Chains A and B, each alone.
Chain A
Amino acid sequence: GAGVSQTPSNKVTEKGKYVELRCDPISGHTALYWYRQSLGQGPEFLIYFQGTGAADDSGLPNDRFFAVRPEGSVSTLKIQRTERGDSAVYLCASSLGSEQFFGPGTRLTVL
Chain B
Amino acid sequence: RKEVEQDPGPFNVPEGATVAFNCTYSNSASQSFFWYRQDCRKEPKLLMSVYSSGNEDGRFTAQLNRASQYISLLIRDSKLSDSATYLCVVFLSGGYNKLIFGAGTRLAVHP
Instruction: Identify the A interface with B (CB < 8 A).
Output: 31, 33, 35, 40-45, 48, 50, 55-56, 59, 91, 93, 98-100, 102-105
Residue B98 at the chain A interface, CB threshold 8 Å:
yes
- Quick one: given A98-B32, A98-B91, A103-B43, are A56 and B103 in contact (CB under 8 Å)? no
Q: Of A41, A55, A91, A98, which is within 8 A of B103 by CB?
A: A41
Q: How far is the CA of A91 from the CA of B97 in the complex (A)?
A: 16
- Quick one: given A42-B104, A99-B46, A104-B42, are A56 and B98 in contact (CB under 8 Å)? yes
Count of residues in B whose CB is under 8 Å from the partner chain: 22
Contact present for B44 and A43 (CB under 8 Å):
yes
Contact present for B46 and A56 (CB under 8 Å):
no
| Per-residue A-contact encoding for B41-85, CB less than 8 Å = 1, 0 else | 011111000000000000000000000000000000000000000
Contact present for A31 and B97 (CB under 8 Å):
yes
- Interface-central residue, B45, B93, B98, by most chain A CB under 10 Å: B98
The minimal Cβ–Cβ distance linking B88 to chain A, given in whole angstroms, is: 8
Instruction: Identify the B interface with A (CB < 8 A).
Output: 4, 8, 32, 42-46, 87, 89, 91, 93, 95-104
Q: How far is the CA of A54 from the CA of B70 in the complex (A)?
A: 31
Q: Of A42, A93, A104, which is within 8 A of B87 by CB?
A: A42
